[in-house]
Structure 1
Amino acid sequence: MSDAAQPTAAEVRAAAEAVKTALDRHLAAVERRSGDDDPAVYEAFNQLAAAAEVYDELLYDRYDEVTPFEIPGAEESLPPYAGPEEPHAISVLIRRDYAVAEPQRLLAQAQRVEAAEYGDGGGADEEAAGTVPGALGILFGEFEPDEIASRHKEFGLEEGDSTLWVTAADEPAEPGEWLEAPFEQVDSQRVVCRFDVSAVFDEDVSDDIDEEDDVEFDGDEDGDLERLDAER
C-alpha cells in the first residue's frame, strides 16, 4: 500500500473512538435486555463487531499493528429468534457426515445383519450386502442413527462434522408434507437453538497450543478432541 492510500492518524483515532462508543452501547443494551434474544443486544453486537473490524483494518494499514481480540462477524451468528413464544411443535434437523474409512468392515457388518435376519439361506438383500451403498442401506435400515453415531467405528465409519438445529412451529406439519424436501424451508429466525461439532474447532485449539513453547498437552492418545458449540 502506498503512503497516499494509507489512512491518517486522525482516521485511526476516530475508528478507535467508534469502538469505544460501540462498547458502551453494547453494554447498555445488555444491561437493559428483556430476554435472551433481545433484538437490541443483537444489533449492538453487530455494530460493535463492525466498528472493531474497521479499527483493526485501519490500525494495520497505518501502523502495521493488530488488536489482541477478535469479534466474530454477524454472519456467524443466528438472527434473533422471531418464532412463537410458546411453540406448539418443533422440528429437529440433524446432519452427520461420515467417511467410509474401512469398507470391508462396513460390508462385514451388513453381511452379519443379513445372516441374522435370513439365516444361511440368504435374503432379498444378499447381493446388496456386498456393495458399499447396499451395506449402508442395510445398516441404516437396521440401526437408529444415534446408535450408528455411538458405534461408528464398528461399522468402518469415521466421524466428520455434525449439526443439530431445533426449530419452532405454530402447528405440527401435516403427514407427508415435507418428506420430499425436508431441509428446504428452514426459517433461521425460528431456530430455537443450534449445536455444531467440527474438527475445525480442535484445529484452532491445536494452533494455540503449538504457539506456546512451554505447554505440555496430556490429551487423548487418539486425538479425538471434540468441542460442542451451542448457539443461543
Structure 2
Amino acid sequence: MSDAAQPTAAEVRAAAEAVKAALDRHLDAVERRSGEDDPAVYAAFNELAAAAEAYDELLYDAYDEVTPFEIPGDDSLPAYAGPDEPSALSVLIRRDYAVAEPQRLLAQAQRVADLDPDVPDLAPGSHRPGGGAGIVGGSVHAALGVLFGEYEPDEIASRHKEFGLEEGDSTLWVAALDDLAEPGEWLSAPFDQADPQRVVCRFDVSAVFDEELDDLDDDGLDDVVLGVAEDDGMLGVVSDDDDIEVVDDLDDEAETDGAGGAGGAGAPGGRKGPGAPR
C-alpha cells in the first residue's frame, strides 16, 4: 500500500475503540441472553467479528502488525426461527459439477438418445435417420438435457464419473414451512424464498472438509501407529517410544504341529503368518 493510502493513527485508534465497544455489546448480550440461540447474541457476535477484522486490516496497513486473535466469520446459518412443530417442509439441494470429460458426456448422452425412439432429432444440421440419433451431436447443452432428463439426480451423483462429470461442493437444506405451497406457486422462482432462519438441518459436502481432516492427521497422528489385536478385535494405539515384540506365528504353528495338535491354517483357531493373505 502506498504512503498516501495508508490509514492514519487516528483511524487505527478509532477502529480499536470500535472493537472495545463491540466486545462490551457482545458480553452484555451474552449476559442477558434468553437461551442458547438468542438472536441478540448472534448479532453481537457478527458485529464483533466485523469490527475485529476492520481493526486488523487497518493495523496491518498502518504498522505492518497483526492482532493476536482471530474471530471466525459468519459462514453458518442464523439461529432457527421457524415453528417448533412444522406442518410442512421444503428440501433444497444444490450439487455442483465440472464437465471434466466432454466427449464422455456426449457419448453417454447419445447412447441414451439412441435407445429412446420418442426423442426427436434436434441436432442442428443432422440428417441421420432414427428417433434420437442426432439429438446430441456436439452440444454439451443438449447432452446435459438428455442425461438429467433420463436419470434421477441421486443416480447422476453416484455415477458422475461415468458421465464425464467431476464433483464440486454440494449441500442439502431441510427448511420448515407453515403450510404447503399451492401447486405451481413457486415454480417461476423456486429458490428465491429460501429462509436460512427456517432451516431445520443441513448437510454439506466439500473438499475443504477433507483438507481440514488431512491437516488434523498431519498435526496429531505423525508419531502414532495404530494396531489391531487379532484375537479380540480391539484397536490399540502404540506410540513410537513403546517396545514392540514381534511374534512369529509360523514358528508357533510349527511347534503345535510337531506336538500333534490340530492348529493348522485350515483348522479352527489357526493363525496365518505375517504377510499372509487373510
Q: TM-score, normalised by structure 1?
A: 0.67
Kindly provide the amino acid, as one letter, of the partner of residue 125 in structure 1: G
Partner of 1:164: 172
1:113 corresponds to 2:112:
yes
For structure 1, the 5+ residue unaligned runs are 217-232
In structure 2, how many angstroms separate the alpha carbons of the residues matched to 1:180 and 1:202? 34
Deviation at 1:203, TM superposition (A): 10
* Equivalent residue for 2:133, pick from 126, 141, 144: 126
- CA contact under 8 A between 2:110 and 2:135: conserved in structure 1? no
Deviation at 1:93, TM superposition (A): 1.6
Deviation at 1:98, TM superposition (A): 1.8
For structure 2, the 5+ residue unaligned runs are 118-128, 223-278
- CA contact under 8 A between 2:15 and 2:54: conserved in structure 1? no
Partner of 2:24: 21
Aligned-pair identity in percent equals 63
In structure 2, how many angstroms separate the alpha carbons of the residues matched to 1:101 and 1:58? 42
Structure of larger gyration radius:
2
Partner of 1:144: 152
Q: Mapping of 1:54-133 within 5 angstroms?
A: 54-60=54-60, 63-74=63-74, 76-117=75-116, 124-130=131-137, 131-133=139-141
Deviation at 1:28, TM superposition (A): 3.6
Partner of 1:34: 35
Partner of 1:226: none
* Equivalent residue for 2:198, pick from 190, 213, 231: 190
Q: 1:4 to 1:193 in 2, by over 3 A?
A: closer
- CA contact under 8 A between 2:12 and 2:58: conserved in structure 1? no
Kindly provide the amino acid, as one letter, of the partner of residue 152 in structure 1: H
- CA contact under 8 A between 1:160 and 1:198: conserved in structure 2? yes
- CA contact under 8 A between 2:113 and 2:133: conserved in structure 1? yes
Q: 1:138 to 1:66 in 2, by over 3 A?
A: same
Q: 1:145 to 1:62 in 2, by over 3 A?
A: same
Deviation at 1:100, TM superposition (A): 1.8
Deviation at 1:66, TM superposition (A): 0.8
Task: Point out the structure with the larger helix share.
Answer: 1
Higher relative contact order (CA 8 A, sep 6+): 1
In structure 1, how many angstroms separate the alpha carbons of the residues matched to 2:24 and 2:194? 36
- CA contact under 8 A between 1:94 and 1:164: conserved in structure 2? yes
In structure 2, how many angstroms separate the alpha carbons of the residues matched to 1:55 and 1:61? 10
Q: 1:10 to 1:152 in 2, by over 3 A?
A: closer
In structure 2, how many angstroms separate the alpha carbons of the residues matched to 1:98 and 1:136? 11
- CA contact under 8 A between 2:109 and 2:136: conserved in structure 1? yes
Which secondary structure state, in structure 2, belongs to the residue aligned with residue 93 of structure 1? Answer: strand
* 1:26-82 deviation digits (Å, cap 9, x = unpaired): 6546xx5524x32122123123213423442454355421124432445x4444333
* 1:111-133 deviation digits (Å, cap 9, x = unpaired): 33344555xxx863222143433
